[in-house]
Structure 1
Amino acid sequence: MKLKLWLWLIPLMFIVLGLSVWIGWSLLGTSNTAKSTEASGADPSVTQEDQDFSAEVVNTPVSESIIVFKNDELGFKNGHDFIGQLHKFYNETLGWGRIDTTSYSEQQEKAELIIRALENVEVMDAAVQMDFDRIKEYAEIVAKEDDREAMRNLHRYFHDLDIYFNGYDYKETFKVTIFQGEGRE
């Protein structure tokens, strides 16, 4: 009788031990995720995609007079709106691993809009003008061919400029812009 009891208890002990380790590991992972979310100041109920980076101003937004559209037909209120809308578009279509699956026709259409917009804008800052010239080069590439690297670069330019122009609390940049003295080119 004692041998039969041990034959049942030993596997049961391994099962309980295995479940305990699994539960402990799961709780530890959840705890670390919560701590990293708290450390970054993010709301744990918000996914990365849905985070609104405009909670606290880190960079003082620049004057709206730096970028002036010659006409309203493209639908942008000002340079801040232009940069913000394009950054949002690229976040939604390229961000978080979607660059390989994005619709080229949608990217091409947006690149053509960027080209039209940059042909109808007056820029009062030389560094912003250099960044816009580079953006136009990438947009022209995307308008002609399905070049994912050019798409990625467009996203990075609009990301960095959006942080500087609109003053988001999110201050990590790709350091691609000439504006704010970061460009590496």
Structure 2
Amino acid sequence: MVEFIKKHGIWGLCFLGFCAFIALMTFNSDQDQDAIAEETENEMAEESGNSEEDKDMSAEEQEQSAKEELLSEKEDSQAAQAVAVDYQEGMEEKTKTTLANVHEYLNQLTGWGQIESINMELLIVGEQWKKFKDDLRFLEQQGFAPSLTHQDIVTAGELVEAAEESGDREALRFIHRIFHDLDIHINETDGDTWGTTEAFGSEERVETVHLYLIENIEGTSFE
């Protein structure tokens, strides 16, 4: 190097300084690039971790939201069932009329001791019985909205099934008592009540009907 300086003088010395400077800058540049790459990698890893955390949080929030929605729907359903009487939109008048007609039919069928002489096999194939079932189906599916009265209609449908399958007149007796009580309370007619409805009866007498169904049939409403 000394010979190089002697030979080239001040210009050689400047050239060597310039080369050293370039080498130093290149070294520092490589270090900076490595630092930048490492920093970028760390930031990406951090963002990825945050993204996964956000995803987990989102899933938890969605699950909680679904639970809250289900609970709200259940509470709404229970509130609807707690209403004594409710009607499908625009169906109140027809529902009340149908209810009164069904009660009248059951009075003629079972009242004044006539229930003991009913021939069940002939009854369930007769036109009046079919009409009664059509009316019952209307009350359940189109007349009453979800309410305690609607549940009473469902119970009556289960009793109809019990009467047809077993031929037991006791099912007819319960059917008549349900419609008797509903007609008196809803259409505000005169008379004493049996207390056998969910909407207006006593828990003890309603339970008597439920126990009868449990012992005689797996009740289902009209399809």
1:160 and 1:107, CA in 2 relative to 1: closer, same or farther beyond 3 A? farther
Residue 164 of structure 1 is matched in structure 2 by 185
Structure 2 residue 191 is the aligned partner of structure 1 residue 175: no
1:17-56 deviation line (CA, Å, top 9, x unaligned): xxxxxxxxxxxxxxxxxxxxxxxxxxxxxxxxxxxxxxxx
Q: CA deviation at 1:92?
A: 0.8
Structure 2 residue 94 is the aligned partner of structure 1 residue 78: yes
Please give the alpha-carbon distance, in whole angstroms, between the structure 2 residues aligned to 1:149 and 1:158: 15
1:61-98 deviation line (CA, Å, top 9, x unaligned): xxxx9334999xxxx96221121111111111110100
Structure 2 residue 104 is the aligned partner of structure 1 residue 88: yes
SS at match of 2:112: coil
Q: Output the amino acid matched with 1:179.
A: A
1:115 and 1:158, CA in 2 relative to 1: closer, same or farther beyond 3 A? closer
Gaps of 5+ in 1: 1-64
SS at match of 1:180: coil
Q: Do 1:69 and 1:121's aligned partners in 2 also have CA atoms closer than 8 Å?
A: no
| Greater helix content | 2
Q: Do 1:93 and 1:99's aligned partners in 2 also have CA atoms closer than 8 Å?
A: yes
* Higher RCO (CA 8 Å, separation ≥ 6 residues): 1
Q: CA deviation at 1:129?
A: 1.9
Residue 44 of structure 1 is matched in structure 2 by none
TM-score w.r.t. structure 1 length? 0.53
Where in structure 2 are the equivalents of 1:1-185 lying within 5 Å?
66-68=86-88, 78-104=94-120, 105-107=122-124, 109-110=129-130, 112-114=133-135, 116-118=137-139, 120-170=141-191, 172-183=192-203, 184-185=206-207
SS at match of 1:168: coil
Please give the alpha-carbon distance, in whole angstroms, between the structure 1 residues aligned to 2:170 and 2:196: 14
1:179 and 1:132, CA in 2 relative to 1: closer, same or farther beyond 3 A? same
Q: Once the two structures are aligned, what percentage of the paired residues are identical? A: 28
Please provide the CA RMSD for this pair: 2.9
Q: Output the amino acid matched with 2:199.
A: F
Q: Which runs of 4+ in 1 moved over 4 A?
A: none
Q: Do 2:116 and 2:169's aligned partners in 1 also have CA atoms closer than 8 Å?
A: yes
Please give the alpha-carbon distance, in whole angstroms, between the structure 2 residues aligned to 1:165 and 1:79: 10
For these two proteins, the number of residue pairs brought into alignment is 116
TM-score w.r.t. structure 2 length? 0.44
1:77 and 1:167, CA in 2 relative to 1: closer, same or farther beyond 3 A? closer
Give the greater-gyration-radius structure (CA).
Answer: 2
